[in-house]
Amino acid sequence: MNKINYRERARKIIELSEAFSQKLIEKVKGQKVSTLSCEEKELLDNLRSAFNEWKSKEIYFQCVCEPDLVDLAIYEIEASKIKYTYFLKKAREKDLSLK
C-alpha cells in the first residue's frame, strides 16, 4: 500500500497558499472602492471571503492529527484554493484588487 506523506503534502499546500497570498498583497494598490460598481464590490467581497476561508482551513489542517481528518482538511484546503483562484481570476479580468 502506498503510504501518503501528509507532512510533505501539507508543506506544499502551505507554500502554494503563501505564494498566492504574496501575489495578492502585491496586487493591492491604488483601487478606489467608491468608484466600483455593486457587482465589483460583491466580487471583491467574495474574493476576501474565499481567502479567509482558505486561511482558516489551513489552520484547521495544522490542528488535526487523525489520518481521516487530515484527508478531510486537505480536501477542504484544495476546495478553498479552487474557490479563491476562481474569484481571483474574475477580479483580474476586471482589473480589480483588494485593499
* Dist CA 23 CA 33 (whole Å): 20
Output the pLDDT for position 81.
92
Domain borders along the chain are 36-94
Per-residue pLDDT in tens (0 to 9) along the chain, 99 residues: 456 677 777 777 777 776 766 666 565 545 555 577 888 888 888 999 999 999 999 999 999 999 999 999 999 999 999 999 999 899 888 887 655
Alpha helices in 1-66 (DSSP H): 6-27, 38-63
Q: 54 with 17: CB under 8 angstroms? A: yes
Output the pLDDT for position 63.
92
Output the pLDDT for position 57.
93
Output the pLDDT for position 82.
94
